[in-house]
Amino acid sequence: MSGDPGLTADMDAAAAQYAARVVGELLVEKPDLTAGEMYGVLVDRAEEARAAARAARNHRSSVVDHPSYSSARTHFKDVLDATERGRSVTVAREGRASVVMPADKLRALFFHAVSPRVELANEDGRVIALMSGRPFVSEGSTVDGALEGLVLSLREYAEDWEARLQGAPNHRDNWALVQLVTLSSDDELLEWLARDSGEADA
């Protein structure tokens, strides 16, 4: 390996110190080892160390693109360029990993993964729209009007969830729903609500 001669010398010195420490430990543990046996143990220890280093390096590269906030900030343009190409970029901070990814792809994922569970009914000439299993109900003179009311309710709920509800036991599982609402336009939410709403009952 070519490079800075001073760095190479430091690495050689560190390797020699490590070998001397291992030899000292071996002599304490197994004072009857021959020179050949000791050499074999040293070779095994060195291979184990290399394997551990490779495993750690592969783990970091497969999970985290930027191991620190500073790294991500320095390469922020690269992060955005990668997401524009459709890549997800991971950033580690204080032992936790976050992901930066294209918003449209994330929205599309939630669009298909989160079911609207909309039910429609007619009552006294008014259309009632509700989301089964969720506390959202709206009414209007038409199906479109009732669904537009649901969009407004979802917007208000998303704001409340971010501000104070996300930690509540009966609300914390609505994370994906809130992300879908936040990432979608009104028209996109209407499309999502109409996905399985069907026709109002006569």
Q: What is the per-residue pLDDT across 36-60, written as a single tens digit (0 to 9) for each?
A: 777 777 777 777 766 655 545 555 5
The three-class DSSP label of residue 65 is: coil
Based on the domain organization, do 109 and 189 belong to the same domain? yes
Task: Look at the alpha carbons of 159, 165, 170, 173 in this order and tell me if their dihedral is positive or negative.
Answer: positive
Based on the domain organization, do 181 and 155 belong to the same domain? yes
Structural domain range at position 81: 64-101
Based on the domain organization, do 113 and 56 belong to the same domain? no
CB 135 within 8 A of CB 170: no
Based on the domain organization, do 92 and 118 belong to the same domain? no
Does an H or E element contain 125, and which?
A: none
Based on the domain organization, do 94 and 125 belong to the same domain? no
- Find all residues with CB under 8 Å of 177, minimum gap 6, and list them: 110, 114, 134, 154
In 30-142, where does DSSP find H-type helix?
A: 35-63, 69-74, 76-84, 103-113
Q: Is residue 16 part of a domain?
A: yes
Dump pLDDT digits (tens) for 86-136: 888 888 888 788 888 888 999 999 999 999 999 999 888 899 999 988 889
Q: Is residue 198 part of a domain?
A: no
Q: How many domains does the chain have?
A: 3
